[in-house]
Every structure is written in structure tokens, then in C-alpha cells.
Amino acid sequence: MQRLEAITEGIRQRGKKALIPFFTAFYPTERDFAELLIAAQQSGADLVEIGLPFSDPIADGKFIQHSSAWVLEKDFKLSGFISFFKEFRKNLTVPVVIMSYLNPVYRYGFDRFADFMEEENISGILFPDLPVEETRFLRNYFKKRNIAVINMIAPSTDGKRIKLIAKNSEGFIYMVSAFGVTGVRNKIAPELRETIDRVKSITDKPLYAGFGISTPPQAAQIARDVDGVIVGSAIIKIIMGREKNFSIKEVIEFLKAMRGAL
């Protein structure tokens, strides 16, 4: 297992800001998803985040809601994704982390899922509905396999919680860069800067920002203060509404523009 801390530390030591594209598993199809992962790898992604769909994604805005509903409608099965990934893994050199709401993984079994992650060298997992206080009950499943459990800090997180999360989050800290759900936004929340400064005064763990970052100038602006940028909704926006004939070139151009901005 390639440890996430080593990966994120390595990116920093190379003097790079990390680019982390997010893709919903099997969106819009299994084949397109595979091509998107390869495209991300070739466009300079430092890490890719794969989102597993959930029927009730309360932290997500319209784009990720749409991609989740889309694949569930097409009868997405976790076991199907696992079989696919076991086959596909060899094509990826870029490190992978997984994002999932708790319930699908809970139902599948944390232990069994952690086994899969270990076997396929998936370095970290992030649950958007898991607060740091409840991380303890599942950390052991992942810790003993050297899989990082990543926690989030939001603009509403106070100083005491920032300390707790900074201490607990493994691999990197996910900085929620907006008040609200995931999605494309024109502006970055003013409180964000303050929270980032606070986090940085407490810890030197890598800090990656996500939620609402949708353009290269935004990415460039925010990357001055953090170690990396996570971008999801803006990619789905390119595909949404033309799932059958979207242009993968457009996705690649977008990722390259983001890469260039960082």
C-alpha cells in the first residue's frame, strides 16, 4: 500500500500544487468513466477522487446529484464497480482516493470494503457525512491496512474543532471551500481565507480545497493559500445533458487549463 501521507508529501516536496479531479463512478457509462480516469492521468492529475453514488447525497449540489442519480438509474452496483476496478487498476499510475456516503459502505461492510481498497492500492477514503467525532468507530478498519481516512474542515468549523480535525485527518485535510453543497460558483467565500490561516497555524498537513472551484482563475487564486485543488462539479457540468455525445477533449482541455493555473 502506497501511503497517502507519502503521496501528498511527495507532491509538496516537488513544489507542486496538487490537482485532484473527481469523477462519479461509472458516469456517464463504465467505459466513459474509464476513459475519463485515463484522461485525468494524462492531463497532469496528481490524485484522482472516485465518488460512489448515493440516493440521498445531502452534501452535494445539482451536478453531483445528477451524476449519482444517473448511474443509480442505470443500476449501479458496488460489486460491479469493484470487479471493474480490479480489472482496470493496472492502467492507473495516478494514486486514487474514494469518496462515499457512509450507508453504501456500511451495508457492504467496512471490513470487506477496506480489504478491496488494500488489494487495489487505494490510498484513502473520505465520507462527507462522517464528522471527526464518529471517525473512531471505523478508523481501525482502515488504519490497520494503512488506508487514510480523510476529514473535512468547513468555513463554519471553530478553532477547537479545527485542532481536532487537523490532528485526526490522514493524508491531507479536505478544506470545504464554500458555505453550502458542492457545485459551480462564481465567488469564493470570504470566510475561507480566515479558516485557512487558522488551519495553517495549527498543522502543516497538506490542505486541499474543494467545493465550488470551477475555473482556472479561481483555482489559481485559491491555490496560493492551499496545497491542492479538488474539482468535481465543473467536470460533470461538461458532460451533463450530453452524456451520449460529450467531448472527452473538452474535459482534457479543462483539466489542462486547471493544471496550467496551478
Task: Please pick, from the candidates 10, 131, 217, 260, the single residue that binds another protein as defined by CB under 8 A.
Answer: 131
Query: 60, 129, 170, 227: which is the annotated catalytic residue?
Result: 60
56 counts as catalytic? no
Phi, psi of 210 (to 5 degrees): -150, 165
Instruction: Find the Cα–Cα–Cα–Cα dihedral 261, 68, 128, 61, rounded to 10°.
Output: 60
Bridge partners, 173 (sequence order): 207
Task: Please pick, from the candidates 1, 6, 38, 72, the single residue that binds another protein as defined by CB under 8 A.
Answer: 72
Query: 46, 49, 170, 227: which is the annotated catalytic residue?
Result: 49
Of 19-27, 75-83, 89-97, 223-231, which segment contacts another protein by CB under 8 A? 75-83
SS3 of 215-257: the string is CHHHHHHHHCCCCEEEECHHHHHHHCCCCCCCCHHHHHHHHHH
Exposed e or buried b per residue across 238-257, where buried means at least 16 C-beta atoms within 10 angstroms of its C-beta = bbbeeeeebeeeebbebbbe
Task: Please pick, from the candidates 181, 184, 207, 222, the single residue that binds another protein as defined by CB under 8 A.
Answer: 181
Does residue 171 touch another protein according to CB under 8 A?
no
Residue 74's contacts (CB-CB under 8 Å, 6 or more residues apart) are 26, 29
Of 43-51, 122-130, 213-221, 224-232, which segment contacts another protein by CB under 8 A? 122-130
Instruction: Name the amino acid, one letter, at 20.
Output: I
Classify residue 53 by its DSSP letter. P
Query: Cβ 58 to another protein, closest distance in Å?
Result: 5
Q: Which residue, among 56, 175, 47, 45, has the nearest Cα to 122 in the 3D structure?
A: 47
Task: Please pick, from the candidates 24, 123, 151, 214, the single residue that binds another protein as defined by CB under 8 A.
Answer: 151
Kindly tell me which of 181 and 258 has the beta carbon lying closer to another protein: 181
Does residue 177 touch another protein according to CB under 8 A?
no
Does residue 56 touch another protein according to CB under 8 A?
yes
Task: Please pick, from the candidates 1, 38, 59, 252, the single residue that binds another protein as defined by CB under 8 A.
Answer: 59
DSSP states along 141-182: HHHTTT-EEE-EE-TT--HHHHHHHHHH--S-EEEE-SSSSS
60 counts as catalytic? yes
Query: Cβ 254 to another protein, closest distance in Å?
Result: 25
Task: Please pick, from the candidates 8, 24, 43, 65, the single residue that binds another protein as defined by CB under 8 A.
Answer: 65
State the number of binding residues for another protein (CB under 8 A). Answer: 41
The footprint of another protein on residues 77-116 (CB under 8 A) is 77-78, 101-108
Query: Cβ 77 to another protein, closest distance in Å?
Result: 6
Residues 50 and 96 sit within 8 Å (Cβ to Cβ) = yes
Return residues touching another protein (CB under 8 A).
54-59, 61, 65, 69, 72, 76-78, 101-108, 128-132, 134, 151-158, 161, 165, 176, 179-181
Active site amino acids: 49, 60
